[in-house]
């Protein structure tokens, strides 16, 4: 078995992940203040970011990438749900989210 065969077996994603770093604004309700996390990677259907806040799987979430001048990162905002929350060694949490709604980019971006 070649390495490419092994990669195809272990990575069955339809959309590739893109590693990138930028602030991620996130909240779990419209009345809640925005929390700031740090993006790890994103794809067409989800985001993975670090946060100081633990979130339960299934929690509805709204996210917004704050890309600044980094035009490699899309002007992305949307909503979905938390699919995974894993505590890291630095007492932070890796939050994986599946996006079910993507909002159109701001015309100012």
pLDDT on residue 11: 56
| Three-class DSSP category at 99 | strand
Count of domains forming the chain: 1
Euclidean distance between the first and the last CA atom of the chain, given in angstroms as a whole number:
46
This prediction has a pTM of 0.81
The two structure tokens encoding residue 17: 């992940």
CATH of the domain at 29: 2.40.10.220
Q: Evaluate whether residue 7 is within a structural domain.
A: no
Q: What are the tens digits of pLDDT across the range 5-55?
A: 444 445 566 778 889 999 999 999 999 999 999 999 998 889 999 999 999
Cβ atoms of 54 and 43 closer than 8 Å = no
**Separation between Cα atoms, residue 74 and residue 84, nearest integer Å:** 23
**pLDDT at residue 103 tops 80:** yes
**pLDDT at residue 66 tops 80:** yes
Q: Could you list the residue range(s) of the whole structural domain that residue 37 is in?
A: 13-102
**Separation between Cα atoms, residue 68 and residue 49, nearest integer Å:** 17
């Amino acid at each position: 078995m070649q390495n490419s065969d092994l990669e195809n077996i272990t990575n069955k994603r339809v959309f590739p992940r893109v590693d990138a770093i930028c602030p991620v604004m996130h909240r779990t309700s419209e009345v809640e203040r925005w929390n700031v996390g740090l993006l790890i990677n994103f794809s067409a259907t989800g985001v993975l970011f670090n946060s100081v806040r633990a979130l339960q799987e299934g929690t509805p979430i709204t996210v917004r990438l704050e890309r600044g001048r980094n035009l490699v990162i899309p002007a992305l905002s949307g909503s979905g749900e938390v699919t995974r929350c894993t505590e890291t060694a630095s007492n932070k949490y890796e939050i994986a989210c599946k996006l079910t709604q993507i909002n159109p980019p701001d015309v100012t971006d």
